[in-house]
A and B are shown apart, each in its own frame.
Chain A
Amino acid sequence: AQTVTQSQPEMSVQEAETVTLSCTYDTSESNYYLFWYKQPPSRQMILVIRQEAYKQQNATENRFSVNFQKAAKSFSLKISDSQLGDTAMYFCASPNAGNMLTFGGGTRLMVKP
């Protein structure tokens, strides 16, 4: 069974600064994927970034990047140059072989002006 753990229920960051959200996971899959989703106040679930476990290079999408440490089963999300629009709930997630996502409990991020 997959488990995904986010140990930071809430975080805050000043606008334009950098923040890192933590995620650890456990999986029995030999080849797997990891995702970060963002849920702003509108409650829509928006894909932020996707990482394939067999790729050593960390995924990057504009201001969003991950630090994927396979041996430690750690998948943190770094947000650079934080913007007010980044204020949201962030969920780490991993799919099983059937592509069913298991989500972490979420981290509520507040970007302060």
Chain B
Amino acid sequence: DSGVTQTPKHLITATGQRVTLRCSPRSGDLSVYWYQQSLDQGLQFLIQYYNGEERAKGNILERFSAQQFPDLHSELNLSSLELGDSALYFCASSKGGQGNTIYFGEGSWLTVV
């Protein structure tokens, strides 16, 4: 158990819909990262938050947004969903400085039908 909690574990939704993925980081970790892994693909960095503020942005679509709340949990919002958004979405956390180990949650499986 990495200590990073993600909900829901699985969800199926229709095209055009909106979903919210939730993440609770490890106790004491200030940094939260979101990654997307499509079928048979590597991990694509989406966005990073540190102590409530956006720190870095990767290949995140405009239809996607995220935030980190004062209690440090984070949410990834995916809207106007398309079939190609079907993927495993990982949340990860770390203490924040370079080289601090990044621990991953079990991921949220999103299937868009």
**A interface vs B, CB < 8 Å?**
29, 31-33, 35, 37, 42-47, 50, 52, 91, 95-106
Within 8 A of A (CB), among B53-109: 55-56, 58, 88, 90, 92, 94, 96-104, 106-107
Q: Is the interface of A mostly helix, strand, loop or mixed?
A: loop
B43 in the interface, Cβ–Cβ < 8 Å?
Answer: yes
B48 in the interface, Cβ–Cβ < 8 Å?
Answer: yes
- 26 contacts across the A-B interface (CB closer than 8 A): A29-B98, A35-B102, A43-B88, A43-B106, A43-B107, A44-B104, A45-B43, A45-B90, A45-B107, A52-B99, A91-B42, A91-B43, A95-B99, A97-B98, A98-B55, A98-B98, A99-B94, A99-B97, A99-B99, A100-B33, A100-B48, A100-B56, A101-B102, A103-B42, A103-B43, A105-B42
CA of A33 to CA of B42, assembled, Å: 20
Residue of B nearest to A29 (CB): B98
A32 with B99: CB separation less than 8 A: yes
Tally B residues with Cβ within 8 Å of A: 26
Additional 10 contacts, C-beta under 8 A, given A47-B102, A98-B56, A99-B94: A29-B98, A33-B99, A43-B107, A45-B104, A46-B104, A91-B43, A98-B98, A99-B97, A101-B33, A105-B42
Shortest C-beta distance, B99 to chain A (Å), equals 4
B5 in the interface, Cβ–Cβ < 8 Å?
Answer: no
CA of A46 to CA of B98, assembled, Å: 19
B98 with A99: CB separation less than 8 A: yes
CA of A100 to CA of B64, assembled, Å: 19
